[in-house]
Amino acid sequence: MSTVHNPVLPGTYPDPSVCRVGDEYYLVSSTFEYVPGLPVHRSRDLVHWEHVGFVIDRPGMLDHDGVPSSDGLYAPTLRHHDGTFWLVCTFLGQREGARGGNFVVTATDPAGPWSDPVWLDVDGIDPSLFFDDDGRVWAHGTRGPASPEWPDQTEVWVRELDPATMTLVWPERVVWNGAVRGAVWAEGPHIYRHDGAYYLLAAEGGTEFHHAVCVARADAVTGPYTGYAGNPVLTHRHLGQGCDVVGVGHADLVQGPDGSWWALLLAMRPYGGLHVNLGRETFLVPVEWQDGWPVFAPGVGRVTTQVEVPFASTGPLGVTQGATSGVVPPGDPRWTSVRGLPGAFATPRGDGWDVRLLPAAPTEPVASAFLGVRQQHADVDVRATVRVALADGEDVGLMVRQSEDDHVRVFLTGGPEDGPEGAEGGRRVVAVHRRGGVDTLVGEATLEASSGSVDGNDAGNSGDADDTDDAVVLAVRARGQDYALLVGSPRVEPVEVAVVDGRALESMTVGGFVGLWVGVFATSNGAPTSTVAHVERFEYVPAC
């Protein structure tokens, strides 16, 4: 018996959906406004996950530009049938002239390429697919009813899908409104068949502290469904706000080759109070069938940070588990950008990137030059070594991002003394905390060009000068809810410019559905520019 750590995918990997093909499992999760979108992971033991590709990974598949933060790609469902992988998903935040709603894509290889989206003529969110033994395909999902009985009431619909035409062809049946009368957001539905009966698994209570997993059963795929008397089958809301894992829900079931059953689901690990900087993560829970119903975490009844997996291997964890730390090179699957693919502004160069400044600022809900990774550890050091000659009004820096309206940034800003020929005097470094769309200056410093020291106060040399005089090191040191913003040079250890309270950044405080990203941004703040910043190194090092 192997005891492994939960979550199996730390950081913002929410709404997991899983399927098994032979001895291998495949999993996708939501990515909202971040692209490439919908990462695909593969595992042979449900614990060690290897990134194999993205579903939304090329221009023209979807138009993210202008999508608000925490909108975009929601709640995918991944299934496999007769040699083809099927994925359905919701794309929210559609703008005038851009398509949104629910779509389906297919692939013969989960690593891609995936087909272009085919849009389904149905409202709502969280679509799913069920392939029945008779060859029929049933789509289902969530939406608000025409005449709700209570605020945020939803209903689950079921309708047949013609796989040849990708159209919904059977009259719709509404089969579920939630296990608890008055419960909000009965969502994330998945239908399964087990021992001749049909089971509907759904979340309810809202994807936050009151989240829960409920189940119903029927003799036909279209119902009527009868809820389990023991609902909810899994929740942590009764454990209180001091629990180490909260917000448990949005589960998907999978059966192993050995006949065992498991659930992949989302939950959050709060720290510093009920604050969830790491976002909604993917956890693993054993499931047993008892008296015709699924029992989650039998004998325990809750999601734990350690879980026993009899068939877990002892190999190294994938990069998404955080076992690999240090330089994050181009090609690492952790890299994502906001509303536009990285290739639109970033080109790999050695261990780093050439990042072209874009006129769009990271404070705007449009595609901007931001290149970052998920925060996956409460205590972590992130450093970016940057070379750039900035024109007046241009900014390049490091950003801890929750959204365009709530984030912190520490950055070099161009002035008259920092032109294309390089800085003759000091280079100005600014630290800003943006809250609710309002910037507040929280610190600033001058990096002396001659010595690399900050504010003329040399923190000590750590190597030869060589040609490093124009390189700047920008850093974030997160220790729990304290986020220190630092600046230095390759020859001088970074010194603190400001410290920001991370509790003012995360979704329980500011709203939204995502955890924090840390990355490089580069903007000319609306002006035309040809400036390119060379990010020589980007390092992510857990402090553990």
User: What would the pLDDT profile of 102-125 be if each residue is shown by its tens digit?
Assistant: 999 999 999 999 999 999 999 999
Cβ atoms < 10 Å from Cβ of 448: 20
Do 60 and 190 have their domain in common?
yes
Distance CA 440, CA 433 (A): 5
Cβ atoms < 10 Å from Cβ of 393: 14
Last residue of a domain, one of 180, 205, 237: 237
Provide mean pLDDT across the span 438-463.
67
Residue 257 forms part of a structural domain: no
Provide mean pLDDT across the span 510-517.
96
How many separate domains does the chain show? 2
Do 232 and 337 have their domain in common?
no
Terminal CA-to-CA distance of the chain, rounded, Å? 26
Using 50, 70 and 90 to split pLDDT, how confident is the model at 297?
Answer: very high
Q: Give, in order, the Cα–Cα distances in Å from 521 to each of 355, 362, 397, 398, 496.
A: 9, 7, 6, 6, 20
Provide mean pLDDT across the span 369-388.
97
Give me the pLDDT at residue 319, please.
Answer: 55
Provide mean pLDDT across the span 303-314.
91
Do 339 and 204 have their domain in common?
no
Residue 402 scores a pLDDT above 50: yes
Provide mean pLDDT across the span 62-89.
96
Residue 244 forms part of a structural domain: no
Name, of 179-188, 278-287, 414-423, the range with top average pLDDT. 278-287
Do 335 and 224 have their domain in common?
no
- Look-up of token digits 């050439």: 354
Residue 462 scores a pLDDT above 90: no
Residue among 1, 11, 86 at smallest CA distance from 336: 11
Residue 359 forms part of a structural domain: yes
* Domain membership of residue 531 as a residue range: 326-542
Distance CA 128, CA 269 (A): 27
Give me the pLDDT at residue 520, please.
Answer: 98
Give me the pLDDT at residue 416, please.
Answer: 62
Using 50, 70 and 90 to split pLDDT, how confident is the model at 531?
Answer: very high
Using 50, 70 and 90 to split pLDDT, how confident is the model at 323?
Answer: low
Cβ atoms < 10 Å from Cβ of 339: 25
Percentage with pLDDT > 70 across the chain:
92
Considering only residues 423 and 527, tell me which one the structure prediction assigns the higher pLDDT: 527
Tell me the pLDDT tens digit for each residue of 134-174: 999 999 999 999 999 999 999 999 999 999 999 999 889 99
User: Three-state SS for 461?
Assistant: strand
Residue 449 scores a pLDDT above 80: no
Residue 408 scores a pLDDT above 50: yes
Tell me the pLDDT tens digit for each residue of 263-274: 999 999 999 999
Tell me the pLDDT tens digit for each residue of 191-239: 999 999 999 999 999 999 999 999 999 999 999 999 999 999 999 999 9
Residue 523 scores a pLDDT above 70: yes
Residue 184 forms part of a structural domain: yes
Q: What is the mean pLDDT of the chain?
A: 92
Using 50, 70 and 90 to split pLDDT, how confident is the model at 325?
Answer: confident
Give me the pLDDT at residue 238, please.
Answer: 96
Q: The sheet that has 34-35: what strands, in order across it?
A: 34-35, 336-338, 370-374, 517-523, 395-401, 407-413, 427-435, 438-447
Q: What is the CATH number of the domain that holds 346?
A: 2.60.120.200
Distance CA 117, CA 105 (A): 5
Tell me the pLDDT tens digit for each residue of 36-71: 999 999 999 999 999 999 999 999 999 999 999 999
Strands (E), 329-456: 336-338, 346-349, 352-356, 370-374, 379-387, 395-401, 407-413, 418-419, 422-423, 427-435, 438-447
Last residue of a domain, one of 210, 237, 264: 237
Give me the pLDDT at residue 429, please.
Answer: 96
Give me the pLDDT at residue 322, please.
Answer: 52
Residues ≥6 apart with Cβ < 8 Å to 310: 1, 2, 258, 260
Q: What is the CATH number of the domain that holds 64?
A: 2.115.10.20
Do 26 and 156 have their domain in common?
yes
Provide mean pLDDT across the span 410-420.
74
Residue 460 scores a pLDDT above 70: no
Give me the pLDDT at residue 418, please.
Answer: 53
Residues ≥6 apart with Cβ < 8 Å to 214: 178, 179, 180, 186, 201, 202, 203, 204, 227, 228, 231, 232, 233
Distance CA 183, CA 204 (A): 7
Angle at 455 between CA 453 and CA 458, to 5 degrees: 30
Compute the chain's Rg from CA coordinates.
24
Do 231 and 345 have their domain in common?
no
Give me the pLDDT at residue 2, please.
Answer: 86
Residue 457 scores a pLDDT above 80: no
Query: How much is the pTM?
Result: 0.94
Using 50, 70 and 90 to split pLDDT, how confident is the model at 451?
Answer: low
Residue 166 forms part of a structural domain: yes
Do 217 and 353 have their domain in common?
no
Do 456 and 334 have their domain in common?
yes
Residue 301 forms part of a structural domain: no
What would the DSSP string read from start to end of 87-152?
A: EEEEE----TTS--EEEEEEESSTTSPPPPPEEES--SEEEEEEE-TTS-EEEEEEE--SS-SSTT
The catalytic residue among 187, 281, 404, 448 is 187
Residue 277 forms part of a structural domain: no
Distance CA 288, CA 298 (A): 7
Do 218 and 354 have their domain in common?
no
333-342, 408-417, 421-430: least confident range: 421-430
Last residue of a domain, one of 176, 207, 237: 237
Give me the pLDDT at residue 450, please.
Answer: 54
Using 50, 70 and 90 to split pLDDT, how confident is the model at 469?
Answer: low
Single-letter amino acid code for the residue at 52: V
Do 176 and 38 have their domain in common?
yes
- Look-up of token digits 């309810």: 204
Return left, alpha or beta for 112; rule: phi > 0 is left, psi -120 to 50 is alpha, else beta.
left
Q: Give, in order, the Cα–Cα distances in Å from 283 to each of 157, 237, 269, 313, 381.
A: 27, 17, 11, 17, 25
Provide mean pLDDT across the span 369-378.
97
Q: Is 15 tagged catalytic?
A: yes
Residue 455 scores a pLDDT above 80: no
Do 223 and 340 have their domain in common?
no
Residue 145 forms part of a structural domain: yes
